[in-house]
Amino acid sequence: MALDQATKLHLEKELLPFLTLEARGDLKSVAIRYFLELTGSKEGRDFIAEGDKFLKAIASLTCDKEKDISRDAFLTLINLTADEKIAWKLMNTETTFIYDLLHKMLKPDFEFADQASSIIANTTRIAGCASKLACQILEANSKVTMENVVNVLCKVNFNKNATLHYLGLILSNLTQVPGIRKIIMDKDRCIIQKLLPFTEYADSTIRRGGIVGTLKNCCFEYEYHAWLLSEEVDILPRLLLPLAGGEEFDDDDMERLPVDLQFLPPDKEREADPDLRTMLIEAVTQLCSTKQGRLLIKEKNAYVILRELDRWEKDPKTKVACRNLIDVLISDEPQQGMEDLHKVEVPEHLVEKFNQMDLDLLSDFKEELDKKASEEKEEKGEEKS
Amino acid sequence: MPKSKKAMSDEERKELVERLTADLEDFVAERSIAARNRKATEPEDTRTIDEIAEELKSHPAFMKDIDWSKPLPPEVEGLMQLKYECEDPTARADSYREDGNEQFKLKKYQIAIDNYTEGIKSKSPDAELNAVLYTNRAAAQFHLGNHRSSFNDCLFARKFKPDHFKAIIRGAQCCFQMNKFADAVRFCDAALMVEPENPTVLELRVKADKGMRARERDERKQAAKERKEEEEDRKLLQAIQTRGVQVASMKVSPDSKINPLLLTALESHNPTGAKVHLDDQGHLKWPVIFFYPEYAETDFISAFDEEACFSDHLEHMFGPETPPAPWDEENKYKPSRIEIYFENKDEEKLYRVSPESSLLDALRHKKYLVYAGTPGFIFLVRGSKFAHEFTARYRKH
């Protein structure tokens, strides 16, 4: 659909007036439907986002009493916020729109909770938007609390008409903000603990992935490592469990593992998504950057889980992350004064060298895994003939 | 620095009560389904959850309107009678509550329970008072170690007041004492919705979560043990089948799954409990019994390697370096004179076994049948009078 100047003018003069709550229902319906179809193309999306008028109008229609109209408005905004520039613009022209959506979707009877969560997830992918929303949540008179966000996320079937899977992604995006992380890790409350069982949540990769991302973000708070690894939270087994398969260990190795990882059945399957596996590995790697964390993780025999994962792993990027973590676990302890790895200042030329080593390792793995794959194909070919 | 506790607004309180009510109803519904599936008859409080829930619907504290077209529930009828007796049920219930509390302080828990029970029976329409009565009775029951009764009272208390903190935390403690760790975590989470920073609840939740995971580990350990035993049993049965050994009452096809009855066929009834098993080299070792019918004596070999010869055992048991058995009065049981037989019970025939045979050779004989997982063999002395008479009996058939 080409948008010539005449069409643009027509949309502004003729259709925009119908994008109001007061407009006649049938005309409003045709207008919003037209804009929804417009968002199918980048040209259309860019046109809608040129000024404030269209965004404001569409946002207002999410409150329309006619369900079909509000649904179309929501779908339009989902498509628009998939574009980062437009998401940023929406956040800044309708300053409380995203916050109000979040407040609504935390009620069990909100009909468009899933659509709302998609919009919020799209918008909070942008660090600036996440930060803005976080500030609004953290205000003293805020009606939204992070504790309630977590409680709603952890209560599956909270809303009979919505899955709220994208709430996991929203939480992950918001925990890019340090202030939000600290609330979730309030030692006087029980918030992050409720998220831990969801690293094995089977019904939704999005929900599970959002929670894994949240936990990984929390592992960047180094002062909290001792608490995260203590019995009060016990985060380590929940990060390792999705990385563990059904391999059998001898009694000595078994006894040193956390109880959650002992006697796993032979049909235990690992996390299927390689991106999530990488995030889990990187979370454990962060926990290893403090001496205290590293020693405890060694003591808990995490190495054997990662050793078996490395043998099993077929994704090159994940394999690199796994090798890096294994290197930390099997290396001697750093010399005095350099125990906390995140504090060590690495010279620029060494950073470049390490990055190059990772790239070399990555291409080596790709080559090796491709070779194995082609060999397997040949074997299958021979069997068939 | 202690955080200032923010007072809950009326709206927030209302939302909290709604959430706790929904969660409690889910919990009771799940328990109801579980109880129905179990179909177990429990001695205390045999009424089902459904019946109790139905009864609560007609409790004055929950009723909003009286349906005059139906017979009045006994409680409402009682209320109307009380009206004419000019006695206030709430005042009476509260009086029993106070008496119960006095006895509780004196640690006379059973008397306290009786008082609280009478207070409950007063059927006051005051929901909060009923919640307190049930909660206090739960506390007394808990101190007597009656955790199940205590827990049921916690449920009833929460029926009247879903956000009654003391009932929720008491319920969590009951579940923990009964090792129902998942339920304990659930009640802790409900308690934390009322008091998010309560240290007692936070600590109990950690312990319950830990208990839950330890139990799950133990279940996996048990499953692993069973898998291992099943694998060993499968190997054992396969080894026996592969060798062509026939075991009485054991008929299996190679594809069949392990049936417990098959293993019963291998259960031996010897005093030591020894059982056929595979050793590290993949040899079958059988418990074997030797019969000496001349003297009504037996010898038991607990682990007879299938590859070993009978003659090896004969040398060991009756060789020149071994003193004669006390029952061998004529000292005639010598390796060179002993003849070995087994009986086929169906045919009522004796079959001869060469002393140079291995156990496996004997067991492979198409007429040999292993009974009770324990091969048996008959030892006779060649040329003896008894041997002649014994074998003659079988020859007549």
Give the ipTM of the model, two decimals please.
0.87
Q: How far is B96 from chain A (nearest CA, A)?
A: 37
Question: If you measure CA to CA, which chain B residue comes closest to A264?
Answer: B220
Cβ pairs A/B, distance under 8 A: 45
Question: How far is Cα B3 from Cα A188, in angstroms, rounded to an integer?
Answer: 9
- Residues B238, B231 contacting (CB under 8 angstroms): no
Angle in degrees, CA B388, B392, B393, rounded to 5: 130
CATH number, residue B309: 3.10.20.90
Instruction: Looking at the structure, tell me whether residues B108 and B203 fall in a common domain.
Output: yes
Domain boundary among B170, B189, B210: B210
Total tally of structural domains belonging to chain B: 2
Question: How far is Cα B116 from Cα A330, in angstroms, rounded to an integer?
Answer: 63
Instruction: Looking at the structure, tell me whether residues B204 and B265 fall in a common domain.
Output: no
**Cβ separation of B220 and A194 shorter than 8 Å?**
no
Percentage of chain B lying above the pLDDT 90 cut = 39
Question: If you measure CA to CA, which chain B residue comes closest to A261?
Answer: B217
**Cβ separation of A263 and B3 shorter than 8 Å?**
no
Interface test with A, best of B217, B222, B228, B231 (most A CBs within 10 A): B217
**Cβ separation of B214 and A259 shorter than 8 Å?**
yes
**Cβ separation of A190 and B192 shorter than 8 Å?**
yes
pLDDT tens digits, residue range A83-97? 888 998 898 887 899
Question: How far is Cα A304 from Cα A299, in angstroms, rounded to an integer?
Answer: 11
Which residue of B193, B197, B220 is in closest CB contact with A265? B220
In a domain, B223, yes or no: no
Q: Which residues of chain B lie closer than 8 angstroms to A151, CB-CB?
A: 193
Range of the domain at B75: 10-210
Instruction: Looking at the structure, tell me whether residues B188 and B266 fall in a common domain.
Output: no
Interface of B with A in 195-254 (CB under 8 A): 196-197, 202, 205-206, 209-210, 213-214, 216-217, 220-221, 223-224, 227
Instruction: Judge whether A256 is closer than 8 Å to chain B, CB to CB.
Output: no
* B25-29, B144-148, B261-265: the lowest-pLDDT one: B261-265
- Start-to-end CA distance of chain B, whole Å, equals 101
Average pLDDT over residues B93-98: 91
pLDDT at B167 > cutoff 90: yes
**Among A212, A207, A194, which Cα is nearest to A276's?**
A212
Burial class (CB in 10 A: 0-12, 13-18, 19+), B302: middle
Domain boundary among B195, B210, B225: B210
CATH number, residue B195: 1.25.40.10
pLDDT at B42 > cutoff 50: no
Domain-by-domain residue ranges, chain A?
A: 219-333
Question: How far is Cα B143 from Cα B352, in angstroms, rounded to an integer?
Answer: 74
Instruction: Judge whether A156 is closer than 8 Å to chain B, CB to CB.
Output: no
Predicted pLDDT at B45: 47
- Beta-bridge partner residues of B344: B349
pLDDT band, residue A208 (cuts 50/70/90): very high
pLDDT tens digits, residue range A272-314? 999 999 999 999 999 999 988 999 999 899 999 999 999 899 8
**Cβ separation of B209 and A193 shorter than 8 Å?**
yes
pLDDT tens digits, residue range A11-67? 877 788 888 887 878 888 889 978 998 889 888 988 898 787 788 899 999 999 788
pLDDT tens digits, residue range B71-91? 767 767 666 655 545 457 889
Provide DSSP, A284-321.
Answer: HHHHTTSHHHHHHHHHTTHHHHHHHHHHH---HHHHHH
Instruction: Judge whether A147 is closer than 8 Å to chain B, CB to CB.
Output: yes
**Among B263, B276, B273, which Cα is nearest to B363's?**
B276
**Cβ separation of A193 and B224 shorter than 8 Å?**
no
In a domain, B366, yes or no: yes
Instruction: Judge whether B193 is closer than 8 Å to chain A, CB to CB.
Output: yes
Q: Which residues of chain A lie closer than 8 angstroms to B213, CB-CB?
A: 237, 259-260
Instruction: Looking at the structure, tell me whether residues B206 and B266 fall in a common domain.
Output: no
Q: Which residues of chain A lie closer than 8 angstroms to B188, CB-CB?
A: 190
* A210-214, A337-341, A378-382, B320-324: the lowest-pLDDT one: A378-382
pLDDT at A181 > cutoff 70: yes
pLDDT band, residue B388 (cuts 50/70/90): confident
In a domain, B247, yes or no: no
In a domain, B150, yes or no: yes
